[in-house]
Structure 1
């Protein structure tokens, strides 16, 4: 029973490009001592490197090379039968050229998946918005457990980054309309590409200047039961109240937007503008608490603005592979 489960754990971690050290290598080493060691390695290969998602949307060449090298080391440390496929795959990857982007694939409980193109650099083009952070995974898991909050409603996501949380919600929670938003031009471009990559076609976005155009990108519209998708450029510091209210959001969510004291006042100012609507939206914000002082400042500023908040329970089921993060907090705000 350990073999299939172990291969599935390698699959989830590999396809999502998680750090190699987080994969269950020690358990693999134990299982390779049995006579079925080679078949287990073959199963892992076909669930990772050779999985259809791993072939079409692969992790970086460096990641795949290190993964295969580690598999070979584990294999050679046992008396398992030779597995030529390991060496053939590694030889093919050694001849490849690295690019600036890679893919990450997250498997959904429905059997579908979220595929993202990410920058290989944590900071790229002057922004950290081109990679997926753990708070986004945490927020998506919570959303999937509480999908009725999003079903048939209009959802506005602040600081969407490259789109993981929103795409997961669009594929699993059946919102009526989903509005992805961000501000940095390179993030908006990558976000729009990832939306198309997952077979959604966004309508022209709502901006304070000109609409974001989605022409020229690949992707086919999904059926009519899927949400209307919009990509919006939102500058928190100067977004007009009318633009926000015209979005008619029922739910507002955000992940990892409380990381810099300098943007807290702009974020809270925008939330205050949402109060002016006929019915203020429900607001949920997930944060990785890297600097407790910044997080406490955010809570204090919420209080000064008259915005109540409460910590809501973490999701009970781990769906996406991520680091154990006791310092990821999920707040519900009452604006």
Structure 2
């Protein structure tokens, strides 16, 4: 039986660790603050009151600072300072509302210091890092540079959209579809789905897009993930270029894509779709 925390006496250490792990996964992914689950999102009752109250335990507060804010991955591939401030502000508010818990000194000092030096304007967002974890232990990670604005540099392809998250999760749950296969991704954007395929065992993944800024960030993101960098290629693919579509689709086993628009007049779509149909 797992030992109960000697500080709060209301939960086991395993329950504490699950709570912090859930927060870390969401923090690295920069889940919007309004959508954050302040509990263990692996359980059915993520926001129940007793789960939320664990946030105030001084052990949990310390672990949030040590294993989230000051984690080596956060330091190397940090979410935006604006997001970190918003995260800590909401966390502080939740602890203060409980009254019986004191705030961790290190956390409140860091929060005040970062708040004083951070421009909180959404229009000053810029590029930041997001980390997507593929396993429960959070050892398998995809690190991506992304813009924070919906439209940046005239394109919507510089951040990961919800459909891309769902497609990535699908391949985590069903890796047999792409294991040892040659995969091409259409409209890759920042690359999450294609990179996930590479991490889950695809032989090779060709990530394609047409916007120059998107292709640049795709190549940068490929280099950010050394464990799969040799499996991934990046290519410019204009769907109206039938010759290029035919060339790039040679020896491809699986075609993937999310949030992409097909026009009926584009014959090249059929060239690609005929490769693999589910």
Query: Structure 1 length as normaliser, TM-score?
Result: 0.67
User: Is 1:131 aligned with 2:159?
Assistant: yes
Q: Which residue of 1 aligns with 2:34?
A: 21
Distance 1:29 1:62, change over 3 A: farther
User: Is 1:190 aligned with 2:217?
Assistant: yes
Distance 1:19 1:88, change over 3 A: same
Secondary structure of 1:282's aligned partner:
coil
Q: RMSD in angstroms over aligned alpha carbons? A: 2.6
Deviations 1:281-315 (A, max 9, x none): 224xxxxxxxxxxxxxxxxxxxxxxxxxxxxxxxx
Q: Which residue of 2 aligns with 1:106?
A: 132
Greater fraction helix: 2
Distance 1:246 1:103, change over 3 A: closer
User: Is 1:181 aligned with 2:184?
Assistant: no
Give the C-alpha shift of residue 152 in structure 1: 1.8
The 2-side partners of 1:50 and 1:88 are apart by 14
User: Is 1:238 aligned with 2:266?
Assistant: no
Distance 1:106 1:234, change over 3 A: same
Q: Which residue of 1 aligns with 2:61?
A: 41
Give the C-alpha shift of residue 101 in structure 1: 0.6
Runs of 5+ consecutive residues of structure 2 not aligned to the other structure:
1-11, 40-46
Q: Which residue of 2 aligns with 1:282?
A: 276
The 2-side partners of 1:147 and 1:57 are apart by 27
User: Is 1:87 aligned with 2:108?
Assistant: yes
The 1-side partners of 2:237 and 2:182 are apart by 17
Is the CA contact (8 Å cut-off) linking 1:156 and 1:178 kept in structure 2?
Answer: yes
Is the CA contact (8 Å cut-off) linking 2:28 and 2:79 kept in structure 1?
Answer: yes
Give the C-alpha shift of residue 231 in structure 1: 0.9
The 2-side partners of 1:52 and 1:76 are apart by 28
Is the CA contact (8 Å cut-off) linking 1:118 and 1:130 kept in structure 2?
Answer: yes
Give the C-alpha shift of residue 111 in structure 1: 2.0
Of residues 240, 258, 268, the one that matches 1:270 is 268
Give the C-alpha shift of residue 30 in structure 1: 4.0
The 2-side partners of 1:178 and 1:21 are apart by 34
Q: Which residue of 2 aligns with 1:208?
A: none
Give the C-alpha shift of residue 36 in structure 1: 6.9
The 2-side partners of 1:192 and 1:33 are apart by 43
Give the C-alpha shift of residue 35 in structure 1: 11
Deviations 1:25-51 (A, max 9, x none): 484974575797111222223332122
The 1-side partners of 2:25 and 2:55 are apart by 25
Runs of 5+ consecutive residues of structure 1 not aligned to the other structure:
201-220, 284-331
Secondary structure of 1:232's aligned partner:
strand
Secondary structure of 2:242's aligned partner:
coil
Is the CA contact (8 Å cut-off) linking 2:183 and 2:253 kept in structure 1?
Answer: yes
Q: Which residue of 1 aligns with 2:252?
A: 249
Distance 1:245 1:4, change over 3 A: closer
Is the CA contact (8 Å cut-off) linking 1:3 and 1:31 kept in structure 2?
Answer: no
Structure number with higher relative contact order (C-alpha < 8 Å, ≥ 6 residues apart): 1
Query: Structure 2 length as normaliser, TM-score?
Result: 0.80
The 2-side partners of 1:113 and 1:69 are apart by 26
